Amino acid sequence: MNSLTEENYLKALFNLSQENGEVSVNELSKHLQIKMPTVTSMMKKLSDKKLVNYESYKPLKLTEKGRREAGLVIRKHRLTEMFLVDKMGFGWEQVHEIAEQIEHIHSPEFFEKMDELLGYPKFDPHGSPIPDKTGKVEWIHYSKLSDCKAGDAVKLSAVTHSSDEFLKFLNTRELKLGTKIRIKSIEAFDGSMTISYGKHLSEHVSCLVCERLLVEKE
Amino acid sequence: MNSLTEENYLKALFNLSQENGEVSVNELSKHLQIKMPTVTSMMKKLSDKKLVNYESYKPLKLTEKGRREAGLVIRKHRLTEMFLVDKMGFGWEQVHEIAEQIEHIHSPEFFEKMDELLGYPKFDPHGSPIPDKTGKVEWIHYSKLSDCKAGDAVKLSAVTHSSDEFLKFLNTRELKLGTKIRIKSIEAFDGSMTISYGKHLSEHVSCLVCERLLVEKE
DNA sequence: TTAAATAATTAGATAAGACTAACAAATATA
DNA sequence: TATATTTGTTAGTCTTATCTAATTATTTAA
């Protein structure tokens, strides 16, 4: 059984290693807001538990076991977010903080019941895939809106950040998952875009926003 | 902000001091399964935080502030139990363990939403009153079934123990809250009773069980 | 290719919350 | 009332998870 703290390290490693599978101590330290020596010592501990491959001065990698256990925590997080939105009436911008706590509840029955009541959902309210009961996650490769070209027609399928402020911003612009977007133009010097969707015929969005929106080409 | 550990001590003090308002270190130690020296030092800490009136070798008493904060934890526990039973379809014997964990979630909105979805319930699935938003609880004085006389007709209104095994036992006997019970006879030597209710015309229940059933006289 | 900057580790300290062993106070019993 | 038992406290240790300061590797830049 992993402690709440260990679960948080595993989850962070899982999320950070999505790209290349490797994470530096420094990255992990910054992401968790925990000083590097503390991270180093936890990596040794998780290495003893066969959850992380750790060698001095080498990048960190989750083992298969570590990936599985991290996946199970993330499964609980995402199921919870879905439950809060679908069954309790929260907005997608409100659920991250609550799920961050509920993901550590130890009760298979509780999450089993959520899953059942939700009808076994495959994605959470931010478009992230929900790992299966073994902790495995189907990795879907969406494009960033920022990587699209002027003229492209795409569908908003997920967001990469779940902070309250960012999602509230999307709410004010009426940008939600499923929204069909057309890229009217891209500013060459800062990567910001002018897009149209629904009733919004001409909205300007910054590069930062574009990088956080994941889309599927139509 | 109290730690999870502190919350558990407060809650235990609250529950144990229902009778006379005072609890001994020994009692608290046994109830929490934590050795006495640990309890003593935590009492000093809670005393510094003005949550407990602590003096060496004197019985423990929650302060007004302590009672309020304990009440708020118990409110979260009982709202959760109600939610699990009413909105998620758990049995009353399954919810204690889960609520024991969820009661420590820090999110007023989460419990506010539960309360709203449940229609502001006054009692949990075991008949215990749910403290209000200030942590205050309406103390209702039911009788123990074991204190009733032969011939009494009563209604089962609450149970004093929420363990899985005990509640499963009540399930098998189809004893639920609201059940009208008539006491047919009482064994003088062990206090066990023969009772009738619903389709059960003659059930024998031990003294231990009678002490855990709270009833209202009709 | 050496010096500077960055990243990582080691060593040692601290706080929370648990423990045991030993002692002291209060209560119960002979 | 004197003694035995039970209850409570003190002192000191352990573990987990954090920190800072100092040191060592590695990487980057001159």
Query: pLDDT by residue (tens digit) across B119-150?
Result: 999 999 999 999 999 999 998 889 999 999 99
Torsional sign, CA A105, B121, B32, B3: positive
CA distance B10 to B3: 11
Please provide the average confidence, as pLDDT, over all residues in chain A: 96
Residue B189, pLDDT above cutoff 90: no
> What pLDDT was estimated at residue A53?
97
pLDDT higher for B86 or B191? Answer: B86
* Distance between the alpha carbon (CA) of A71 and the C1' atom of C7, Å: 28
Whether B70-140 and B4-62 are alike in CATH topology: the answer is: yes
Tens digits of residue pLDDT in B22-49: 999 999 999 999 999 999 999 999 999 9
Q: Chain A partners of B99 at a C-beta cutoff of 8 Å?
A: none
* Distance between the alpha carbon (CA) of B126 and the C1' atom of C28, Å: 39
The CATH T-level fold of domain B4-62 is Arc Repressor Mutant, subunit A (1.10.10)
Judged by a CB distance cut-off of 8 A, whether residue A123 touches chain B is no
Per-residue pLDDT, averaged over B108-118, amounts to: 98
Strand nucleotide closest to residue A38 (CA to C1'): D18
**CB contact at 8 A, A13 and A66:** yes
Q: Chain A partners of B109 at a C-beta cutoff of 8 Å?
A: 90, 94, 98
- Cα dist. A167→A146, A158, A175, B30, B113 in Å? 18, 11, 9, 48, 20
Q: Which of residues 142 through 201 in chain B touch A, CB cutoff 8 A?
A: none
Indicate the residue type of B126: H
Angstroms from B136 CA to nearest CA on chain A: 25
> What pLDDT was estimated at residue A218?
80
> What pLDDT was estimated at residue B24?
97
A104 CB less than 7 Å from any atom of strand D: no
Q: B98 vs A90: CB contact, 8 Å cut-off?
A: no
Assigned architecture for domain A143-217:
Roll (2.30)
> What pLDDT was estimated at residue A21?
84
CA distance A205 to A174: 13
Judged by a CB distance cut-off of 8 A, whether residue B1 touches chain A is no
Nearest to A107 among B97, B107, B109 (CB): B97
B38 CB less than 7 Å from any atom of strand C: yes
CA distance A115 to A79: 7
- How is chain A split into domains, by residue range? 4-62, 71-140, 143-217
- Residue A103 — pLDDT band, cuts 50, 70, 90? very high
Following CA atoms B38, B39, B41, B47 in sequence, which dihedral angle do they give, to the nearest 10 degrees?
160
Q: Give the pair of three-digit tokens for residue A132.
A: 């299966």
ipTM score here? 0.93
CATH number for the domain running over B70-140: 1.10.10.10
* Distance between the alpha carbon (CA) of B144 and the C1' atom of D6, Å: 30
**CB contact at 8 A, B127 and B214:** yes
Q: What is the CA radius of gyration of chain B?
A: 19
Residue A87, pLDDT above cutoff 80: yes
**CB contact at 8 A, A83 and A148:** no
Q: What percent of chain A lies above the pLDDT cut of 70?
A: 100
CA B67 from chain centre, in angstroms, equals 15
> What pLDDT was estimated at residue A18?
83
CATH number for the domain running over A71-140: 1.10.10.10
**CB contact at 8 A, B92 and B169:** no
Judged by a CB distance cut-off of 8 A, whether residue A97 touches chain B is yes
Per-residue pLDDT, averaged over A173-200, amounts to: 95
Indicate the residue type of A191: G
Q: A97 vs B107: CB contact, 8 Å cut-off?
A: yes
- Residue B19 — pLDDT band, cuts 50, 70, 90? confident
Nearest to A113 among B89, B101, B105 (CB): B89
> What pLDDT was estimated at residue B146?
94
Residue A210, pLDDT above cutoff 90: yes
- Residue B21 — pLDDT band, cuts 50, 70, 90? confident
- Residue B218 — pLDDT band, cuts 50, 70, 90? confident
Angstroms from B82 CA to nearest CA on chain A: 14
Please choose, from the candidates B140, B137, B131, B125, the residue with its C-alpha nearest in 3D space to the C-alpha of residue B178: B125
Q: Label the pairing between strands A61-62 and A143-144.
A: unpaired
Tens digits of residue pLDDT in A27-51: 999 999 999 999 999 999 999 999 9
Q: B98 vs A87: CB contact, 8 Å cut-off?
A: no
- Residue B18 — pLDDT band, cuts 50, 70, 90? confident
